[in-house]
Amino acid sequence: MKLVIATMAASLATAAATVALAPPAGADTVAYLVNVHVRPGYNFPNADAAIGYGNTICDRVAGKMSYAQLVDQVKADFRTTDYYQGAYLINQAVNELCPAQIWQLRQSAAGYTVPA
């Protein structure tokens, strides 16, 4: 019985140490860069410009800009009328650069319909 308790205690200690050493969930700039550079139409001059723009999207979401305004702003910045072009960049930025803002983005987009 003592051996079972000692084994369980050692297992729990190992699991606790593993959880304590795990890196925190957060931004994945590499995934963001890959996704926005592979999709044509954004033409960022370099990685810093792409990340900087993505961070402005994160700031707008955190500032509770409405989803409609956010899509319109991104479309205007990239001189496109393509809703998907704007929505894709917004989703990539929030999912990869500021995942803590996913809930806010979802709340903002609730009920949104693409204009005809």
pLDDT for 70 beyond 70:
yes
Please tell me the distance from the alpha carbon of residue 62 to that of residue 45, in angstroms, as a whole number.
26
Under the banding of pLDDT at 50, 70 and 90, the label for residue 115 is confident
- Give the per-residue pLDDT at 65: 94
Q: What are phi and psi of 40, to 5 degrees?
A: -70, 155
Mean local confidence (pLDDT), 96-110:
94
Q: What is the mean pLDDT of residues 15-31?
A: 58
Identify the pLDDT of residue 24.
40
Q: Which tokens in the block code for residue 28?
A: 């994945």
Cα–Cα distances (Å) from 79 to 5, 24, 27, 87, 95, in that order, read 66, 37, 27, 14, 23
Cα→Cα distances 87→20, 59, 101, Å: 36, 16, 15
pLDDT band at 1 (very low <50, low <70, confident <90, very high): low
